[in-house]
Amino acid sequence: MKKTIITGIVLAVAALAMLTVSIRHSEPLESKPLGTVSGIVTDSKTGAPLAAVAVQIVGTTSGTLTDASGKYTIVGIVPGSYTLKASLVAYASQEIMSLTVTAGNTTQQDFQLASMTIACDKPQIVTAERDLLRLTETQNQRQLSTGSVKNMPVATVQELLQTQAGVVSRGGQVHMHGSPSNEVPYVVDGVSIKDPLGGTGAVEQESNISGRVTENMQIVKGGFDAEYGNAPEKCGQIHQRDGRGSKNVGGIMPPCIDKPTYGNVPMSTGGSVPPNGQQYDAMFFKHYGVNPFVSTDDDHLSTFAIDADNASYSMTRSYLTRGSLPPEEAVRVEEFVNNFKYEYRHPQERAFRVCLEGAPSKFGDKYQLLKIGIVGKKIEECRRQDANLVFVIDVSGSMDMENRLGAVKKALHMLVDNLTDRDRVGIVAYRTDAFEVLSPTSIRDRERIIRAIDGLYASGSTWAEGGLRLGYQMADRCFDRSRINRIILCTDGVANEGQTAAEDILKEIKQYADRGITLSAIGFGMNNYNDVLLEKLGDKGNGHYAYVDNWEEARRIFVENLTGTLQVIARDVKIQVDFNPNTVDRYRLLGYENRDVADNQFRNDKADGGEIGSGHTVTALYEIKLKYEAHGDLGTVFVRYKDPNTFAVNEVAEPIDQSYFSHSFESASSDFRLAAAAAEFAEILRNSYWAQDGHLSDVLRVVGQVERERCDDQVIELMDLVAKADRMMKANEDGQGPLGMETE
């Protein structure tokens, strides 16, 4: 075992984040109080309070969202002069310059935002500036320079940590991202203690820890979330098992507990049945293999169910921003490709348009890359069907965190605020038992719905089966075929009571899914999370699966793409590509391994397919090897689907002609090159055999060129994630764990 100690670093890993501060002062700094900013945000025209407005101190990680009354409060601000910004979709952003924050005082600053109205009968394109406001400080490492620490009005470690996002002091204890320090152990300079930062926890060994900011101090916090109960205190060390994050808990795993079983875990917050019908091991993913190349002489048909999810990309983003590479099995190529917006033209009349483009592959020598875009009809927000929604909310012990149940509440606030008065919402919650929180209620009574959401609290184990059954029963009571009938499940997916495997749970709900009650499975949280269950529920529940790792993703799902999230335009969508054996030698579908459909089931309309929402697009990539001097017809793309209301079956076909192919990769569209780079990024991360010679530096060059051609926040983010992954992989090759952690 090799251990690297970085001199002069204060390292605190709490809940889901690690904070690193470089300090060169041996003398305590003068202690001064911090400041607060608060106010209310209203509509400039109506004077009505605005909820879910992002209020941020520009250039810092400090920020918050307004509540249902439009009020906000940002605490723990170092005194000084700042720019304060408020932004909300469909409103013009507003900035207050030179806002002065003084020590020990609250600065009052209100906002009045001007609405940018979009008329239903006169479509417009509105471009508004939008800031990224993350729910928590998700980076594993936060660096503060010596100069910045020197000028900060803090004297103790506790005061220093409280200047960072997600850290507060309650009752003499430091809470980081919702976790009190006496729930899990810390190691301070090698001494295992509880609450080393000024609270009441007992020190297990003799120690002269004073809590003052000094040289050469190292603080490490470990342990598990609430599903496990309190972890043994000797397990508080940080161990990086492997750079790819497999067999660890978000990159952090106490060495003395590898696969804890329920027999050794307190039952006050856990359960007695392993999730997925398998042994409990914190993070659940499943590897579905990697598609091979197929000779057209053996099989010229490639068939799969459509899938517009992007949860795998969001999950990978969460891993990388926390300082760990994702497990290989967490990476699904198609969800990386489908995370991005491509410049497809939506059809006006029919449900789908097929868009084709090809070029020589940048990452597959002597192969062509074929991009198939399935573009759905877009329904304007003011023309979407009225909705009957049932929120099924996990309130078990594992959800007792700000970035779990806290995030669920805020996300549902956003959703409720963007529904119309014609919509209705019912609420079911589950923990050890399942219970009705709110009977179906009109959005006209928003305050009642919000009170019901805010009144939820976490405890007990996780009876997902009971919660889903009760939610479907509620949806069935108010079922109306002329309306959207949807379950919105919000959970970390860790079911540990009753039936815990997706197949078992789906036996209970299939009758409802077939009738037209769809399911959106929305995942929250990290460290103990069940991707396997949620993905299957989203797929088999005739809906979709998403993972919320930051506020931008929550806003995308519940605000910007609300109609697409709720309004289904086609059911049981399947794609079949018939390659011409005379021109195509072999082919390989990139991704969609878990959405494979037998070729002879393509026109079996009882076979399950995927669901597509309003305006959704689905992109699939094939690597193909052409035969010598091949030209003309390469094959045909078929798309088969059911009308969401009448269930009438339709099929469209689009021939693949070589005229769709560019002569070089560089001359292809930026959409094409972006999709290719996203796919290669995923292939390398999941250690695909077909990308064993691939390099993330090559991916980064392609993404960088695309970014120079188009102003796109998503592309900028992708550049950042590829660069992070590249650094981590290179560190692993050098035998060093990321962030200076121990490596075995």
Q: What is the CATH number of the domain that holds 393?
A: 3.40.50.410
pLDDT band at 625 (very low <50, low <70, confident <90, very high): very high
The reply to whether 465 and 613 lie within a common domain is no
- pLDDT digits 0-9 by tens, 9-42: 333 333 333 333 333 333 333 445 888 999 999 9
The angle, 0 to 180 degrees and rounded to 10, between the axes of the packed helices 446-454 and 407-417 is: 170
Residue type present at position 534 = L
Q: List the single range of 193-207, 306-320, 333-347, 636-650 with lowest mean pLDDT.
A: 193-207
Q: Judge whether 537 lies within some domain.
A: yes
Instruction: Give the pLDDT of residue 196.
Output: 36
Encoded tokens for 153: 């009005």
Whether 528 contacts 283, CB under 8 Å: yes
Whether 334 contacts 623, CB under 8 Å: no
The reply to whether 422 and 462 lie within a common domain is yes
For the residues of 298-323, what is the DSSP string, one character each? Answer: T--EEEEE-----HHHHHHHHHHHTT
The reply to whether 513 and 431 lie within a common domain is yes
Verdict on whether the full-model pTM lies above 0.75: no
Instruction: Give the pLDDT of residue 504.
Output: 65
| Residue 46: pLDDT over 90 | no
Q: What is the mean pLDDT of residues 392-405?
A: 89
Domain end among 539, 566, 593: 566
Which residue would you say has higher pLDDT here, 448 or 67? 448
Instruction: Give the pLDDT of residue 511.
Output: 79
Instruction: Give the pLDDT of residue 676.
Output: 98
The reply to whether 370 and 396 lie within a common domain is no
CATH number at residue 98: 2.60.40.1120
| Residue 229: pLDDT over 90 | no
Q: What is the mean pLDDT of residues 95-104?
A: 90
The reply to whether 652 and 524 lie within a common domain is no
Q: Judge whether 19 lies within some domain.
A: no
Instruction: Give the pLDDT of residue 737.
Output: 53
| Residue 80: pLDDT over 60 | yes
Q: Judge whether 28 lies within some domain.
A: no
The reply to whether 55 and 106 lie within a common domain is yes
Q: Judge whether 522 lies within some domain.
A: yes
Instruction: Give the pLDDT of residue 201.
Output: 35
Domain end among 566, 590, 620: 566
Q: Judge whether 72 lies within some domain.
A: yes
How many Å apart are CA 104 and CA 348, to the nearest integer? 59
Instruction: Give the pLDDT of residue 192.
Output: 36
The reply to whether 347 and 394 lie within a common domain is no
Encoded tokens for 686: 């999941």
Q: Judge whether 538 lies within some domain.
A: yes
Q: Judge whether 677 lies within some domain.
A: yes
Domain, as residue range, for 465: 385-566
pLDDT band at 687 (very low <50, low <70, confident <90, very high): very high
- pLDDT digits 0-9 by tens, 660-680: 999 999 999 999 999 999 999
For the residues of 564-612, what is the DSSP string, one character each? Answer: HHH-EEEEEEEEEEEE-TTTEEEEEE-S-GGGB--GGGTT-TTS--EEE
Domain end among 566, 591, 619: 566
Strands 387-394 and 368-376: unpaired
The reply to whether 500 and 405 lie within a common domain is yes
| Residue 395: pLDDT over 70 | yes
Q: What is the mean pLDDT of residues 348-374?
A: 93
Which residue would you say has higher pLDDT here, 681 or 62? 681
What's the structural domain count of the chain? 3
Q: Judge whether 227 lies within some domain.
A: no
Instruction: Give the pLDDT of residue 525.
Output: 79
Encoded tokens for 240: 């990086």
Whether 73 contacts 52, CB under 8 Å: no
CA 295 to chain centre: 37
The reply to whether 584 and 666 lie within a common domain is yes
| Residue 478: pLDDT over 80 | yes
Instruction: Give the pLDDT of residue 224.
Output: 31
The reply to whether 461 and 543 lie within a common domain is yes
Which residue would you say has higher pLDDT here, 434 or 135? 434
Instruction: Give the pLDDT of residue 436.
Output: 95
